[in-house]
Structure 1
């Protein structure tokens, strides 16, 4: 019996060693030939070096290996693009080759197995073309202009929350719940014609919690089981169980919103929203409609919540920027009408997006066909990642990139001038909601900075985009907790605005 146990243990040990050796050989063979990059550990590759602030580590490595190099995430070779010039060559000139997305175990096969994928996370297919066409129609410049009334109502609600919950400037607030409420209601109103009245509503709290977790599962470095398949069978691995839980909880509210909208339409109610307009065209099936729904919720919460959270903190540290914005808005209101946008505020929004990209590592691509970069072949099926953080900090484009300066987007006459930012991605899979996102941010900050001074509460917090991150392992780089005071510039003016319908 003892000999049998010894033999069993020996064979088991030999099988594990053989499996590890086979995995390591496959990992080394998976590298893209001819492209340099940092060497990692056996089995895990570079993952341990990228668990915290991966985008900044990628930028640092670019100083040694060049703007385009490769890393190994477990057994997966990933080509990383870290400069504005390289991003143009890889994602714009080769837009057809870089049009697809890779499939990751945690997000695609566990979290999204019942509801499908968002538009942004879907591999390229005929179905994706239909969904992107529907999204483009709903999110083009003309369509976005028609949403101004919805955006105005939700920004007015944000002003109300800041004014009333902040006791008219007497109480410091953690603005996260207010910002999440704004972001979620913008998504719900535009997509389903619905909204959640209060930050205290259990449904609001449920959606905010679930979407935060789902965002983590989309991390390109945070889910080790995506790159080391053996970990999916590790008995102490809780990632899959938590992913399944969030999938189930998310399905409940997404299906509820779709069901309620369908019932309203069946009752003959006219509902002006994206989902109703798409349903009327009958071009998408139920799974594709679900994908569009998921896209609106996830995109809004990721982009608007994260950007506004950083912006409020940054502005509280910079009263001079707030004062410039206030004077610019005041002059704009006196000299023109709402048909044009205040140039300084457009530049302010662009600079916020440049310095605080919510997704510092854009969602990864998977090449649909071969292409060459610097005479090196990038074969079909290769994962390619745009480091939006590094591109937005590219010294060739922004010599003083770590300085917050909206004026960099204005010419000598104070007019907005062209200038690339990489926050929404590049090329064929650039975020289709960028026009909507820019409009929402413009309207919010134009109203907010005209009515309030934002002051940092005692203790403060770090507004540095590197050292002030709450969770450096997360896909979405949110700031640490902080409190601000929304100090009214003119209470009567605020109350007059809040009384308007």
Structure 2
């Protein structure tokens, strides 16, 4: 204290003699002090006993993960083990890098790991008016009510009742590529048509409505907005989620885009809900999830909770299913041997003059079912599952995992775990024929795994049955089906491939044309 008192007059004299220099140096000194203090604070936040890579000041390990965080986390696993610690900004994260540890943490300790952390961009900006999706919500009483409503809407009997909708949308895809591809004469990018298929299923199930064409402005608006939402849900793409001073930038493009995305999303969600309310009042509505909840006196969901259910249904259709279908089509175009095996398996069940197969048949074609599961595994649509946070402490390998700890399940690493899969880098549907009970992690695991997995599997199965039965998929240009180098944007929540075009060549044009002409949907949109 005495030293400080004696030094003060000298410090004041230096400031008085060099005011300009001091003004210039002051921000630098303050920033240096901030970095030093923050490093001490960041170090104290680390979870004891868990090792991991050393990070950089302020950013932690963010800058070290590169453009493909899931792969970098997978590589770090060989050095630091199946569960290790990284810091994103100041936030300590435990990375789960193996199938066995994923099951131990998220199944055996499901009660402790059943919540979600809140993120700045998605939760506080994008979702401030429409509510959080069920999958991204922290565990509370509201979520329990929403999960109960979703569970009843997505269980096996409910999914069976949705088969007419899946029937209609998959037939519409077959028709669309027939017309737009001029019966195999014009190469097509399948992504927009796949998006309409998946979006329509979400719209039909939740609101009892659908979009008739990819040329509809509403289709383009929803797809564009939900693409933005997907990037904001990404666990790695938003720096301001982990580095707080980025939030202080009043000119932040990310914050501005997030706010605009919220506003644009509110417009079409309000429109869809208002139209359904009017149909319910006029008793002209079609049976759908939203109407069932609104008319159920025991559901007791608030308007915000109903909106959460709505955005959940849209998100569910636009993530895993779309990514899996687009990769699956690319794989078939580049692997005619697998395409032929699938076609022969379908022909063993249905004759050539039944290209649409039977929509009520539930995944009895073993090879196509195995193909769907291998596509989900090999391409892993969501490389990093939505994060979990612990609601209570538990022990892991003799180490205490404190309450409030965030986990990232590296789905990419789990789906390529050599302890579970023989030669995981090979695309081989036969692995699921040889071992039908073999795990696959693309829908997550434990109590917070995707509630729509039954619906997703049913939709994927019928889609590929009808696609392969109706068309031979031919490569038109170079298609990169390498799940490491072929991803268009690793920052997005779903790992879509680069755009490509294929030829959908009818296996028998006369039979397919007749089937399309004679098709009678069980449900009209």
By the TM > 0.5 criterion, same fold?
yes
Output the CA distance in 2 between the equivalents of 1:370 and 1:496. 62
* SS in structure 2 of the partner of residue 455 of structure 1: strand
In the alignment of these two chains, the number of paired residues is 496
**Given that residues 51 and 472 in structure 1 are in contact (C-alpha distance below 8 angstroms), is that contact kept between their aligned partners in structure 2?**
no
* Matches of 2:421 and 2:25, distance apart in 1: 60
Alignment check: 8 A CA contact 1:144 1:436 kept? yes
Closer, same or farther: CA 355–113 of 1 in aligned 2, 3 Å? same
Q: 2:498 aligns with which of 461, 480, 492?
A: 480
Matching residue of 2:459: 440
In the TM superposition, residue 177 of structure 1 has moved relative to its aligned partner by 0.7
Report Cα offsets for 1:55-102 as digits up to 9, x if no partner.
Answer: 111111111111110111000000010111111111000000001000
Please identify the structure whose Cα radius of gyration is greater.
Answer: 2
Q: Are positions 1:325 and 2:342 aligned together?
A: yes
Shift of 1:203: 0.7
Which residues in structure 2 correspond to 1:122-161 (within 5 Å)?
Answer: 122-161=137-176
Distance 1:44 1:421 in 2: 33
Task: Kindly state the Cα deviation for residue 25 of structure 1 after the two structures are TM-superposed.
Answer: 1.5
Gap regions ≥5 residues in structure 1:
none
Displacement of 1:235: 5.0
What's the counterpart of residue 174 of structure 1?
189
Give, in whole Å, the separation in 1 of the partners of 2:135 and 2:117. 11
Q: Is 1:465 aligned to residue 480 of structure 2?
A: no
Residue 70 of structure 1 aligns to a residue whose secondary structure is strand
Structure 1 residue matching 2:408: 3-state secondary structure: strand
Post-superposition Cα deviations, 1:401-439, rounded to whole Å, max 9, x if no partner, equal 11111111113xxxx721110000011101100000000
Q: CA deviation at 1:19?
A: 2.1
1:119 aligns with 2:134: yes
The alignment partner of 1:429 has SS state of: coil
Residues 455-490 of structure 1: CA deviation (Å, up to 9, x unaligned) = 110x32200111000012222111001100001001
Q: Secondary structure at the match of 2:494?
A: coil
Q: Deviations over 1:151-198 (max 9, x none)?
A: 110001100111110010000011111111111111111111110111
Structure 2 residue corresponding to 1:358, chosen from 381, 396, 403: 381
Q: CA deviation at 1:13?
A: 3.1
TM-score w.r.t. the length of structure 1 is 0.96
- Corresponding position of 2:410: 387
In the other structure, the counterpart of 1:298 is 315
Query: 1:405 maps to what in 2?
Result: 428
Which has the higher mean CA deviation after the structures are superposed, 40-49 or 235-244? 235-244
Q: Secondary structure at the match of 1:333?
A: coil
Q: Which runs of 5+ in 2 are unaligned?
A: 1-15, 521-525
How many angstroms apart in 1 are the aligned matches of 2:511 and 2:279? 37
Note closer, same or farther for the CA distance 1:374–1:498 as it changes in structure 2 (3 Å cut).
same
SS in 1 for 2:485: coil
Structure 2 CA distance for partners of 1:184 and 1:68, relative to 1, 3 Å: same
CA distance in 2, matches of 1:14, 1:333: 76
Separation in structure 2 between the aligned mates of residue 479 and residue 402 of structure 1, nearest angstrom: 17
State whether structure 2 residue 508 is matched by structure 1 residue 490: yes
What do you get for the CA RMSD once the two structures are aligned?
1.7
Deviation at 1:7, TM superposition (A): 4.2
The answer to whether 1:316 aligns with 2:333 is yes
- What does residue 64 of structure 2 align with? 49
* Conserved? CA contact 2:416–2:425, under 8 Å: yes
Shift of 1:277: 1.0
CA distance in 1, matches of 2:295, 2:499: 43
* Aligned with 2:398 (options 366, 375, 378): 375
Q: Secondary structure at the match of 1:69?
A: strand
Report Cα offsets for 1:327-347 as digits up to 9, x if no partner. Answer: 111112269975442111111
Please identify, of 439-448 and 299-308, the stretch whose mean Cα deviation from structure 2 is larger: 299-308
| CA distance 1:2–1:471, change in 2 (3 Å) | farther
Report 1:11-26 matches (<5 A).
Answer: 11-26=26-41
Alignment match, 2:6: none
Can you list the C-alpha shifts for 1:196-227, whole angstroms capped at 9, x where unaligned? 11101111011111111111111111111111
Q: TM-score, normalised to structure 2's length?
A: 0.92
Which residue does 1:420 correspond to in 2? 439
Distance 1:235 1:3 in 2: 33
User: What residue in structure 1 maps to residue 11 of structure 2?
Assistant: none
- Bigger shift: 134-143 or 44-53? 44-53
Is the aligned partner of 1:429 residue 2:448? yes
Residues 334 and 479 in structure 2, CA contact (< 8 A), matched pair in contact too:
no
